[in-house]
Amino acid sequence: MSEHRQPGPADRSPTVADVLALPVLATGDPRVVTGAEHLDRPVRWVHVTELTDPASFLKGGELLLTTGMPLPDDPAGVRRYVDELAAVGAAALVIELVRRYHRPPDALVRACRAHGLPLVTLARDVNFLEVTQVVHTLIVGHQADAIHRTQRVHEAFTALTLRGAGPEEVLRAAAEMSGRTVVLENLVHLALLCAPSGTSVRAALTDWERRSRTTPATDRAGLSGPEGWLAAPVEYQGERWGRVVMLPAAFRGRSLGPEDVTVLERTAMALTIARLTHPTPWERTAHRDALRDLVEQRHRSPADARARVAALGLPVEHARFIAVLADLPSEQDSGAAETRLSEELTATGARALVGLLSPTRLGVLLALRPSRPWREAVERLSRTALDAAPGATVSAGAPAEDLADVTRSFREAARVAEATEPGRALPSGRSFHERGDIGLRRLLYALGDDPRVQEYAERRLGPLLDHDARHGTDLVATLRGYLDAAGNKTVAARSAGLSRETVYQRLRTIERLLGRDLESGEQRTELHVALHAVDALRAHPVTRPGPATDEFSPRPGS
């Protein structure tokens, strides 16, 4: 092992234990007499001293090397000597047992033990000058490395700020630089964003509000609370918006230190700038991210999802969940509708996540007591959405009894929305669509992009549609009336205002053009489905080829 190799991790100063492990000291056969529990103290400098009052020249953090020659003879003097070293914050006292002493004086041992000051004895001669050179090289090297690392931190956050990074990117960068989990919370102790590192979201956020409330706020970056969180306020011109927290990770083998403080301070500064330059409130961003993670199942585990949602204030126990989608008429309505809906739900005490899933699709996850009628709650929500964005289409999925089943509820709501034509009439007293509303026509409308549906309709009815187009006839209307009358020619003639003979003649023409037997119940059913498919395709918006969209994004024109 090289004597100039830095002992311990490269991201901290050498400790007393590190210095004692150096070959230049190990040759003296060091033995820890007292203060073994404090060998993790950082060593700021090394002093060789033969003074009777060395404390007057110290600033704290020094490791003292002495032959023992200056120690007072009387116990009171020894106590005073150690009291002064402890008061100034000396890291450790190393005494060589070669010249004056061959065992440490009892008074020295008692005094060091009383203060928890590490007392180390050396059984053999050690070159003190060489010790100072080696340790000082390590310390200066560490300080230079620390300066370089701090500079890299500043440069990284400056780059984030210049490119307009949002709060999520800022937190991820902080977690990567520090190797710690970083959390952004608001003033009411809801965890808005979490960037985990070396732990799960569940471990970081479980019981968040209670833990946060036991961690007092600080005016600047510093350690706080029973868990030893490193916290910093996020504020601008005296207005505090929340705080950013770096969680300790004792298993990593190092405590939170000055470089972590630097990272957290720059994180808080970058978040302040992001808040000023990004108009979307953090709460909205948090809800959007949480909803998208749920509907796309991006959580690493159901436990992580539960912890994340609970940290945002949503109950996850003894609740059932309803997914609601509001497809807005235009992108211009989205921000106002999102804000209005969120404010209304908050004002009524509803527990929900509200956020945009796409530029014109608003997602809501309602958490209700199991005994509460869910349609009543969705109806109230739907009317609020329609007030905020007239012309919107609101769709609901079936209730989910557990958070893990929420994706299914959102998928159902998306399929209901896909099967809903713009302006589709609703049952009396209801302003939203649900799964039970989907009939044959709505199913065919949802499948309108499928070439197989288009090919089926054209194969069954194409010759008739072509004939009407070429000759100006309306045989399709006659066929529709006949099929709607369940094959009753008399009813069909009366409904169309035609004679029975005229209807008979037209039906024979239709059979000839289509090659079908209209007396066959099965063939009538096939033609009836084809007519519904044509109607649905005509109502369906024309979509141009382009990038694929996921099922939670509204189809164009809806």
Which H or E run includes 245? strand 239-246
| CA–CA gap between residue 307 and residue 299 (Å, rounded) | 11
> Residues 139, 140, 142, 143: is their CA dihedral positive or negative?
positive
Instruction: Look at residue 470 and give its three-state secondary structure.
Output: helix
> What mean pLDDT comes out for the span 394-398?
90
Q: At residue 553, does pLDDT exceed 60?
A: no
> What mean pLDDT comes out for the span 288-294?
92
pLDDT of res. 547: 33
**Using alpha carbons only, what angle is made at residue 475 by residues 469 and 480, rounded to the nearest 5 degrees?**
120
pLDDT of res. 548: 35
> 223: which residues sit within 8 A by CB, 6+ positions away?
229, 230, 231, 256
**Which amino acid is residue 459, in one-letter code?**
R
The two beta strands, 119-122 and 92-96, are parallel
Percentage of the residues of the chain whose pLDDT score is greater than 70: 88
Q: At residue 449, does pLDDT exceed 60?
A: yes
366, 378 Cβ separation under 8 angstroms: yes
pLDDT of res. 252: 47
Instruction: Look at residue 390 and give its three-state secondary structure.
Output: coil
| CA–CA gap between residue 25 and residue 346 (Å, rounded) | 66
| CA–CA gap between residue 265 and residue 271 (Å, rounded) | 10
pLDDT of res. 551: 52
Q: Quick: pLDDT tens for 465-513.
A: 888 889 888 888 888 888 888 888 888 888 888 888 888 888 889 888 8
> What mean pLDDT comes out for the span 130-144?
79
pLDDT of res. 486: 86
Instruction: Look at residue 495 and give its three-state secondary structure.
Output: helix
pLDDT of res. 210: 94
- pLDDT band at residue 440, thresholds of 50, 70 and 90? low
| CA–CA gap between residue 364 and residue 36 (Å, rounded) | 57
The two beta strands, 62-66 and 45-48, are parallel
- pLDDT band at residue 2, thresholds of 50, 70 and 90? very low
Average pLDDT, the chain: 84
Greatest Cα-to-Cα distance within the chain, rounded to the nearest angstrom: 135
| CA–CA gap between residue 363 and residue 514 (Å, rounded) | 46
Instruction: Look at residue 307 and give its three-state secondary structure.
Output: helix
pLDDT of res. 212: 95
Residue 92: closest CA among 131, 125, 60, 53: 60
> What mean pLDDT comes out for the span 295-324?
90
DSSP conformation class of 541: P
| CA–CA gap between residue 493 and residue 468 (Å, rounded) | 19
Residue 410: closest CA among 396, 394, 392: 396
Enumerate the H helices of 163-230 as residue ranges. 167-178, 201-205, 208-213
Q: At residue 71, does pLDDT exceed 90?
A: no
> What mean pLDDT comes out for the span 283-289?
90
**Using alpha carbons only, what angle is made at residue 44 by residues 38 and 48, rounded to the nearest 5 degrees?**
95
Compute the CA torsion angle 501, 507, 508, 511 (nearest 10 deg).
-170
Instruction: Look at residue 31 and give its three-state secondary structure.
Output: strand
Residue 3: closest CA among 35, 32, 30, 26: 26
What is the per-residue DSSP string for 502-526? Answer: HHHHHHHHHHHHHT--TT-HHHHHH
| CA–CA gap between residue 109 and residue 79 (Å, rounded) | 10
Q: At residue 143, does pLDDT exceed 80?
A: no
Q: Quick: pLDDT tens for 526-545.
A: 888 887 777 767 665 544 33
